[in-house]
């Protein structure tokens, strides 16, 4: 983890930010960082209790947050949430689409239901929120959206086709939307993180009692560490700081980009 908390040079005072998947990992860290930079962080997650816990942690630090249960695959609920936030606070400046799931299985074995579930959350969930927010931001004359892709879009890792396809779709959605809404002052970018230590990646190393097998995790991380010139595996804050930059005015000239916070791992193609 970075020697946190780092000073946040780009202020987001008065801004209202909606974060999906804010109950855990990268989403939670992002909500915390944006709030520490001055934004009101609206923490949403399919697990409403986890979203509330993130908001409470933000309040405990003296910053502003609200929380709501939100399943991003529920299009009507996403529109209600996004439009409700804009109505309640009078503005919507930032949307961070971070909610995501993964299902494993080689292409020849993938069940259609698993493929649908991954596309519904990772791609269509991002699409619904982008569409709801972009309509509001374009009418208001500005805003910033950050979507979450993955290093998986740069390679063909066996066993995660559904996930990789969903994230490749997120990349293309990001580019198309950026091209269409730039004239309204709305910027759209994505992060494509490398391996980050979160619940999503820890699930492989859980012991029967639910605790983490640190040794197994360290062994699995070894080859990835070797691929990074920095010898690093990511922590959620590493991605949150990149997102903070992208949503801030410091990135005024940046749109349609896929930022790869991944320790410098170069993909084979």
Ligand X SMILES: NC(=O)c1ccc[n+]([C@@H]2O[C@H](COP(=O)([O-])OP(=O)(O)OC[C@H]3O[C@@H](n4cnc5c(N)ncnc54)[C@H](O)[C@@H]3O)[C@@H](O)[C@H]2O)c1
Q: Which of residues 146-185 bind ligand X (CB under 6 A)?
A: 148, 150
> Helix or strand or coil: residue 166?
helix
Which stretch of DSSP H or E encloses residue 77? helix 75-89
| Residue among 143 and 193 whose Cβ is closer to ligand X | 193
CA distance 51 to 53: 5
Peptide bond into 224 cis (omega under 30): no
φ/ψ region of 213 (left if φ > 0, alpha if ψ in -120 to 50, else beta) reads beta
Q: Which of residues 218-237 bind ligand X (CB under 6 A)?
A: none
Catalytic residue among 10, 163, 241, 245: 163
CA distance 265 to 221: 13
| Residue among 57 and 138 whose Cβ is closer to ligand X | 57
Q: Among residues 55, 66, 85, 121, which is the contact residue for ligand X, using CB under 6 A? A: 121
Only one of the segments 180-188, 195-203, 208-216, 246-254 lies at the binding site for ligand X (rule: CB under 6 A); that segment is 195-203
Q: Among residues 8, 10, 38, 47, which is the contact residue for ligand X, using CB under 6 A? A: 47
CB 48 within 8 A of CB 24: no
193 is an interface residue for ligand X by CB under 6 A: yes
The residue ranges that bind ligand X (CB under 6 A) are 20-21, 23-27, 45-47, 50, 70-73, 98-101, 121, 125, 148, 150, 193, 195-196, 198-201
Q: Which residues participate in catalysis according to the annotation?
A: 163
């Amino acid at each position: 983890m970075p020697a946190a908390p780092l000073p946040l040079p780009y202020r987001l005072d008065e801004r209202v930010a909606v974060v999906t998947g804010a109950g855990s990992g990268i989403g939670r860290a992002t909500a915390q960082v944006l709030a520490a930079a001055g934004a009101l962080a609206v923490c949403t997650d399919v697990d409403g209790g986890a979203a509330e816990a993130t908001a409470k942690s933000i309040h405990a630090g003296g910053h502003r947050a609200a929380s709501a249960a939100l399943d991003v695959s529920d299009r009507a609920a996403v529109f209600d949430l996004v439009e409700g936030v804009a109505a309640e606070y009078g503005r919507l400046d930032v949307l961070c689409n971070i909610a995501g799931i993964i299902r494993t299985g080689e292409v020849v074995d993938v069940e259609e239901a698993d493929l649908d579930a991954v596309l519904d959350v990772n791609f269509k969930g991002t699409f619904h929120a982008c569409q709801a927010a972009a309509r509001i931001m374009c009418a208001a004359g500005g805003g910033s959206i950050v979507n979450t892709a993955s290093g998986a879009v740069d390679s063909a890792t066996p066993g995660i086709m559904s996930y990789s396809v969903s994230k490749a779709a997120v990349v293309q959605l990001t580019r198309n939307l950026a091209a269409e809404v730039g004239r309204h002052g709305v910027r759209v970018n994505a992060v494509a993180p490398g391996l980050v230590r979160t619940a999503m990646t820890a699930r492989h190393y859980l012991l029967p009692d639910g605790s983490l097998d640190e040794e197994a995790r360290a062994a699995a991380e070894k080859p990835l560490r070797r691929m990074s010139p920095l010898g690093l595996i990511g922590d959620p804050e590493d991605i949150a700081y990149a997102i903070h930059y992208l949503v801030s005015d410091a990135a005024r000239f940046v749109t349609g980009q896929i930022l790869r916070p991944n320790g410098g791992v170069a993909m084979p193609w």
